[in-house]
Chains A and B, each alone.
Chain A
Amino acid sequence: GDSVTQMEGPVTLSEEAFLTINCTYTATGYPSLFWYVQYPGEGLQLLLKATKADDKGSNKGFEATYRKETTSFHLEKGSVQVSDSAVYFCALSDQTNFGNEKLTFGTGTRLTIIP
């Protein structure tokens, strides 16, 4: 079945540091890939997505590139801010699995940015 393996946390960085959160996936079909973010006490919000190989999703300074050859979708940001502190989830939805468009999530990575 489909699965997502995500870099274990928690991750603590200083403000303006470079961020990478690793994500690799296993899918029987052809997945769409997503990064969702969960701020304390809130639901999940879509951060970015990519739906085909070599696509780059980007939003709020975050980027991730869909790498089919390495089955990866690593999240990066060049300079993090305190407001980026949250839990980040990598997820996939299998495009060939018509009739079940569920999201399969990684375990989440808690990111804390210290001033």
Chain B
Amino acid sequence: DSGVTQTPKHLITATGQRVTLRCSPRSGDLSVYWYQQSLDQGLQFLIQYYNGEERAKGNILERFSAQQFPDLHSELNLSSLELGDSALYFCASSVEPRSYNEQFFGPGTRLTVL
């Protein structure tokens, strides 16, 4: 158990819908990262937050947005869903944003868009 929790574990929805994925980082970790794992794209970095502020963006679509709240949990919002958004979405956290620090991964949310 990494200490990072993600809910829900599974999500099945239809095209055009909107969903919210939730992540609680390890106690004391200030930095949160979101990654998408799909068969065709592999593991891709989406976005990073540090202490409530957006720090870096990766290959995140404009239909996707995220935020980190004062209690440090984070939410990833996916809207106007398409079939190609079906993937495993991971949240990771680290104590502070340093490249040599280990990132601790949650179990992921599996999103299926029908």
Contacts and interface: CB of A to CB of B under 8 A. Distances in A.
A102 B43 contact: no
A12 B100 CA distance: 31
A9 B87 CA distance: 21
Interface residues of B, number: 27
Contacts, number: 65
Contact of B99 (A31, A42, A89): A31
Contact of A108 (B42, B55, B105): B42
Contacts of B4: 43
Given A42-B107, A43-B106, A104 B45 contact: yes
Contact of B100 (A43, A49, A107, A108): A49
A114 interface: no
Interface in B74-95: 90, 92, 94
A34 B99 CA distance: 11
Chain B CB within 10 Å, residue with most, of A43, A44, A108: A43
A106 B92 CA distance: 17
